Amino acid sequence: MISNSTKAHLALLGANTIYGASYIIAKGIMPEKIDPTAMVVIRLGVCTLLFWLIKFSLTREHIEKKDVLMFFMCGLFGGAASQLLFFHGISLTSPIDASIIMTLTPVVVLVFSLFILKECITKNKLLGIAIGGIGAITLIIYGNTAVGTSSFLGNLFIFLNACFYGLFLVLAKNLMKKYHPITVISWMFLIGFIIVFPFGIDNVLETNFEAFTLNSYLIAGYMVLFTTFLAYLLNIYALNHVSPSINSSYIYFQPAVSFIMVSILAYTFMDDTYSKDINLVKILSCLLVVVGVYLVSKPQK
């Protein structure tokens, strides 16, 4: 019989494989077939409905008035801002760049934890922040001159997305202790959807869905159902059985998936769209970020 710990590791492996593949898959329809803002509105709307259906089946708990502001901030940073920045960023830049920059999230979480939660910090963690930051900044600046699909603005959006998502994780930490995780996630998506809806409904209405092929619908379905709904459920399950540090360490797997998919596209299907996105500068930047995240995530004796 498979232990809960093994199931949790399999869940994390599955979630981060989904995330790693999404960087390339998302570019299959954005921005040619659908505007990134429209994609965010659809994604938040569908997932809000799904998570609230699960919430009603699991718990009917209500949030206290004193926590309303914290829930709103989680919806703003985790639901609206981070989603908009991610989809606009991935539509502008290389999937390799995006997957590397996103691995900086544990470093961002530590920085916000230091200032908001007043958590202690060690010299190793400070060194990790510095090394990871150098890797990310190098990659962002390099996106302005790199050969391939890299973009300075796209890389900057992805970096800001990592910052907002990291801030959401820190803000949600205490809420997760007080409320059921599904309650927190449900409200986060609902508030994010309410914030984004007025700005993105016109983009949705202007989308030419008649031009969508079966492949377009499959990609949109993957981005909504897999990278959001299923991946969140897998992460929630894993957090019940393994520590947050183990959970965050699986983020290393995302760039590996992107590298593998780019290699498969280039050398198996002869699609050289992203073949120039892998070079020495990006590999070195990736190594710096990985070393930085390792130092930040490494448990203290």
Residue range 152-167, pLDDT digits in tens: 888 899 999 989 988 8
Query: 79 with 189: CB under 8 angstroms?
Result: yes
pLDDT digit string, tens, across residues 179-235: 988 999 999 999 999 999 999 999 999 999 988 999 999 999 999 899 888 988 888
Average pLDDT along the chain: 84
| Greater pLDDT, 153 or 290 | 153
**Helix 231-239 to helix 181-206 angle, to the nearest 10 degrees?**
170
Task: List the one residue out of 47, 84, 35, 37 whose CA is nearest residue 189.
Answer: 47
- Domain ranges, ordered by start, for the chain: 4-297
Closest CA to 179 of 55, 76, 79, 54: 55
The answer, yes or no, to whether residue 146 has pLDDT greater than 70, is no
Cα(277)–Cα(255) distance, integer angstroms: 12
Decide if 85 contacts 102 (C-beta within 8 A). Answer: no
Give the per-residue pLDDT at 173: 80
State the Cα–Cα distance between residues 228 and 168, nearest whole angstrom: 15
Angle, helix 280-297 to helix 105-116, in steps of 10 degrees: 40
